[in-house]
Amino acid sequence: MINDEYFLAALRLAAGNDPIPSHVSAAARDVYGLRVPRAVTAAPAARTSAGSDVRDPDGCHLMRFVTDGLTFDLEVTVGDGLIDVAGQVWPHPGDDAVIDVKTPHLTLTRHIAHNGDFAATGLPPGWLSVVCHRPGRAPVQTRWVRIRP
């Protein structure tokens, strides 16, 4: 019978000798490239009693993300295989602030209207994040959410 101590020691030794698979390293580099340096992450917040990501009767995703001092309300619609995002950030982050609507392969930069509204259309389905860049302050980004058709 094998002693548990020897078995665990053998597992530790074996784990240190196996190289990391190349696809795991590549995926880690890809994910690292999606980060926004110094960004504060806005967490999902309850928009309705059903939670922070609600699909209304028309199939739109209604989402709210909140951090200290900034709230994102997003309406995400899927049509013809593409994603459209209509959003509002409040309070207004300033005249020079911009919004990036990001997917893993595409970033659309939008100016924010005086009422906090912004929109981006024609995005591919899949993962999505919104980032607010405010001059002189750390950017604020929503968590990544997966939008499926």
Give all domains of the chain, ordered by start, each with its CATH number.
4-33 (no CATH), 40-147 (2.60.40)
From the list 41, 28, 17, 15, the residue with the least C-alpha distance to 144 is 41
| Distance between CA atoms of residues 113 and 72, nearest Å | 14
Pick left, alpha or beta for residue 80 (phi over 0 → left; psi -120 to 50 → alpha; otherwise beta): left
Per-residue pLDDT of the chain (149 residues; tens, 9 = 90+): 567 777 777 777 777 766 677 887 788 788 778 788 889 999 999 654 344 455 555 668 899 999 988 999 999 999 999 999 999 999 999 999 999 999 999 999 999 999 999 999 999 999 999 999 999 999 999 999 999 87
Q: Report which secondary-structure segment, H or E, holds 140.
A: strand 140-142
Enter the pTM of the model: 0.77
Q: Contact 10/111 with Cβ under 8 angstroms? A: no
